[in-house]
Structure 1
Amino acid sequence: MIQIQTLVTFIIYFIFLMGIGIYFYKKTTNIEDYLLGGRGMGSWVTALSAQASDMSGWLLMGLPGAVYLGGVKESWIAIGLFIGTVLNWKFVAPRLRVYTGNTNSMTLASFFEDRFQDPTGLLRVITAIITLIFFTIYSSSGLVAAGKLFEAMFSINYSVAVIVGAIVIVLYTFLGGFLAVCWTDLFQGILMFLAITIVPILAYNNVGGIDSIREAMISKNISMGLIPEVNLPLLAIISTMAWGLGYFGQPHILARFMSIKSIKKLPEAMTIAIVWVLISLGGAVVVGLISIPMFPNIADSERVFIEMITQIFNPWIGGILLAAILSAIMSTIDSQLLVSSSTLTEDFYDKVIKKDASEEELMHVGRICVLLISVVALFLALNPNNTVLGLVSYAWGGFGAAFGPVVLFALFSKKTTWKSALAGMIVGTIVLVIWKQVGLGSIMYEIVPGFIANVLTISIINIFIVEENDQILDEFDQVVETVQNGDLL
């Protein structure tokens, strides 16, 4: 049975989140406030919001579960993600902030259209469709994680647990928009960081140290080496490290770069983000390893962190730390719902359905879109056989393969045209989906062939079709100069 102290802790946490949503509901006065916080976010909020929305429930559930089953070799996922995080902040963030400021773009789809001046609108529409498809899958992964958490803690039916989690998340996203999402992410990121550092330290002492972990891994035939024991170990390493490629195409993370007040704040935000990611990923790997001797026969490997907290801590402290798992889940779903809402509002309603819509009307439409997307994601999440890591890996790979190369070419290739960007996006997505559907994902993570196909398509077309529009070329040069000089926007 659930401890009343844990329940009280969760209720207080929910009330706190609702309070943030209501507060920023009053502060949100126009569509730019609702979708990007008025492009006025500070370093700490931007950094922790980006990383908290990035890591999601899989950091505290999916990754420890993978390490619990596969051992140290699963750390390549964390290594790849850390490298991807550093590269994304260092190279993508500055140019994307300047470019989207210059073009007044509020979504990735509108940025692609404005950057390449696509006269057909196809680049925006295809980007928006891909965004909605993969974000629906991604959001459902968070609801699966919420369902598992509530089911384990409160001993309630899985479907009921999923619905309860969805209601809480949707409410504060619906009310406060981007500002509420970012500020809740700040607090959630701090709570996640505390949990992933404190819990493994205390659990390590409880299991008897490294010798106990080694003995348990030997008894379960789990290797402690970094090199995978397969026929093609290099291929396996590349496949797991390739998670890092996904960063360049994640709309909910890129939206944080668009929202920061000035590129002068990016170095500080980058430092905060990198330290957070390094320690958090390391902590998640350690949680997975410690769980091997601690829970030799657990039924669901993705629940090891939950079980670890409930065994070590009293109900009051445990409730706070379990709220960190909920924080990880919420901090990603709220961002995904908001970006999906942004896509429907900015890229379809405002530019296709009703071009003269008022600011107030667009905010109402944005909130309605949050509800619609939530309902679809909820139905997907009601299947209890879904795994958090499985759903996340497909959606993450989809964004990385479809958008990652296009973002990089948009920011660093002067000669790329809308035709090559559109072709690369379509080819990359098709290759990823086919690779996954025919079962080749077990050999190589589908993001790798999808990403490569996208890059090759754009590169080949760039040989034959080169950008010649002087306005586009001048704007590119202006962005590069602004970033190099570190000018305020």
Structure 2
Amino acid sequence: MKYVFIAAYFLIMLVIGLISMRKISSVNDFFLGGRKIGPWMSAFAYGTTYFSAVIFIGYAGRIGWGFGLSAIWIGIGNALLGSLAAWLVLAKKTREVTHRLNISTMPEFFEKRYGSKTLKILSALIIFIFLVPYSASVYQGLTYLFEAVFHVPFTYGILAMALLTAVYLTLGGYVATATNDFVQGIIMLMGTIVMVAFVLLNPHVGGLSSGLEKLAHIDSRLVAPVGPGGFSALMSLVILTSIGSWGLPQMIHKFYTIKDDEAVKRATIISTAFALIVAGGAYFIGAFGRLFLNNQIPINAATGKPDMDMIMPIVAMKAFPDWLLGLLAILILSASMSTLASLVLVSSSAISMDLLREIKPGIKNSTETLIMRLLCLIFIIASVVIATNRQTVILSLMSFSWGTVSGSFLAPYFYGLYWKRTTRSGAFAGFISGFATSVILALVFKFNAGMAPQLGAISMAVSMIAVPTVSLLTQDVPDAHKSFVKGVAEEL
């Protein structure tokens, strides 16, 4: 039965890609869906991009093990800060500014807001370079699951996922991605609810009250408001995975494409509910991982070392019947395919729309679309190469890349959107301080997976302080961009 589910899913994705291909007539259609995406598709696109195999395989298992039930706070933070607050604060303003100034990408926003091609090129390079390891972490999470459930060799699993992503994305672009996101979002919601029920009813847990007693017997802190991992580590995870999403280009991209303000209001509610169910459910399941593994971290046969990324696949094998394993595989595949598609689109646009236009301003629309499709393939190949290195931990890949990108972009984007006094020098200070903090600390702590969330949170905080500090000391907003600043000021 599980093979039937997977085959049906693959077929649906390919059909959507072929149908969507007919709607692509320009690079704007390929990347933005013509800016006509409705509330349900926009909300589900945001949610399915937000949550991937990284949360179900890497985060839920590892953090649930380390923090117990208090890991659910991260899911709540993702819903209230990463979704509700993000939509309330950023969505309407982003849509208005990007429509008014015909902005298609985050690097283009930085260029038009601060009058700097250097900022545009710098941000485009950061996107393309640092979203590759993030994409690789998603591929790794997928293949851990497929290796456990379908006994597919690790490398073959990665190649199969890469091929599926490449085919439907290069055919249909964002039109295919948004349509697939809606289908995938429904699967994720249903799958999460069913998975929670089966985990609680499994004899290893024996119901909620019994499960809590068993966790408390192992360590009373596993059922406390703050788990064994400690308050600072927990808050760092909440900040990185919630506020950090505000500075990720693949998340902000969803605000460019939504059709009107009414759609923004409805999408805000839908997106928040989606995050609460999916993220809250994933961390809830992960908290009971110790009960399925006799409180022993599994050993990876390939490396001979303890591997927390194997926790959730083993829980799935023990808790779910064959048909539900198929549904679980589709759930995680759905979450990951959407995230991968968004990462690939945003990263490819950084080169084709932001760098290539600078080199060759008069490039034809059809040529640019073709180049973007080719860049999608190159990005996927690069991600696969990194993902095949099994010594790399999923959580490390995701956290360091997420922290570096958010640390670089969050402050210049947020202040540039809302504070008319933000200067070009302030934006540069935010870029450099956030990027440097993330990279230097990662090197100092030798890319320690346990430190990744704290380092990402620190880099964002440093950048948020640097931008207003330097802006108040400088005056360099070009006259050519007064209309932009005026537009921001009138709406404050």
Shared fold (TM-score, shorter chain, > 0.5): yes
Which of 370, 375, 394 lines up with 1:364 in the alignment? Answer: 370
The corresponding residue for 2:303 is none
Pair 1:309–1:239, CA change in 2 (3 A): closer
CA distance in 2, matches of 1:406, 1:214: 44
CA distance in 2, matches of 1:388, 1:196: 21
CA distance in 1, matches of 2:57, 2:471: 42
Which of 17, 25, 33 lines up with 1:21 in the alignment? Answer: 17
Q: Does 1:165 align with 2:161?
A: yes
The corresponding residue for 1:113 is 111
CA RMSD of aligned residues (A): 2.1
Q: Does 1:150 align with 2:159?
A: no
Point out the more displaced range, 94-103 or 462-471: 462-471
Pair 1:195–1:438, CA change in 2 (3 A): same
Contact residue 191 and residue 321 of structure 1 kept, 8 A: no
Q: CA deviation at 1:332?
A: 0.4
Alignment length (residue pairs)? 474
Q: CA deviation at 1:346?
A: 0.2
Contact residue 20 and residue 172 of structure 1 kept, 8 A: yes
Pair 1:311–1:237, CA change in 2 (3 A): closer
Q: CA deviation at 1:294?
A: 2.9
Pair 1:265–1:75, CA change in 2 (3 A): same
The residue type paired with residue 214 of structure 1 is L
CA distance in 2, matches of 1:58, 1:317: 20
The corresponding residue for 2:2 is 6
Contact residue 341 and residue 369 of structure 1 kept, 8 A: yes
Q: CA deviation at 1:385?
A: 2.6
Q: CA deviation at 1:313?
A: 4.5
The corresponding residue for 2:29 is 33
CA distance in 2, matches of 1:213, 1:268: 37
Which secondary structure state, in structure 1, belongs to the residue aligned with residue 454 of structure 2?
coil
Which of 434, 452, 457 lines up with 1:448 in the alignment? Answer: 457
The residue type paired with residue 351 of structure 1 is E
CA distance in 2, matches of 1:265, 1:276: 16
CA distance in 2, matches of 1:436, 1:155: 34
Q: Does 1:70 align with 2:76?
A: no
The residue type paired with residue 335 of structure 2 is A
CA distance in 2, matches of 1:326, 1:46: 19
Q: CA deviation at 1:473?
A: 3.6
Contact residue 196 and residue 284 of structure 1 kept, 8 A: yes
Pair 1:294–1:410, CA change in 2 (3 A): same
Contact residue 140 and residue 381 of structure 1 kept, 8 A: yes
Contact residue 69 and residue 301 of structure 1 kept, 8 A: no
Q: Does 1:42 align with 2:38?
A: yes
Unaligned runs of 5+ in 1: 485-489
CA distance in 1, matches of 2:71, 2:40: 30
Q: CA deviation at 1:63?
A: 2.7
Contact residue 430 and residue 467 of structure 2 kept, 8 A: yes
Contact residue 60 and residue 196 of structure 1 kept, 8 A: no
Which of 340, 343, 353 lines up with 1:346 in the alignment? Answer: 353
CA distance in 2, matches of 1:468, 1:146: 46
CA distance in 2, matches of 1:155, 1:241: 34
Pair 1:270–1:216, CA change in 2 (3 A): same
Unaligned runs of 5+ in 2: 299-306
The residue type paired with residue 177 of structure 2 is V
Per-residue CA deviations over 1:30-74 (Å, capped at 9, x if unaligned) read: 000011111110000000001101111122222320203431233
Contact residue 252 and residue 336 of structure 1 kept, 8 A: yes
Which of 246, 249, 260 lines up with 2:247 in the alignment? Answer: 249
The residue type paired with residue 357 of structure 1 is I
CA distance in 2, matches of 1:11, 1:448: 40
Q: CA deviation at 1:338?
A: 0.7
CA distance in 1, matches of 2:76, 2:198: 24
Which secondary structure state, in structure 2, belongs to the residue aligned with residue 356 of structure 1?
coil
The residue type paired with residue 57 of structure 2 is M
Which of 125, 138, 144 lines up with 1:129 in the alignment? Answer: 125
The corresponding residue for 1:225 is 224
Contact residue 414 and residue 467 of structure 1 kept, 8 A: no
CA distance in 2, matches of 1:75, 1:401: 24
How high is the sequence identity, in percent, across the aligned residues?
A: 26
The corresponding residue for 2:301 is none
Contact residue 428 and residue 453 of structure 1 kept, 8 A: yes
CA distance in 2, matches of 1:115, 1:412: 11
CA distance in 2, matches of 1:27, 1:373: 24
The corresponding residue for 1:487 is none
The residue type paired with residue 15 of structure 2 is G
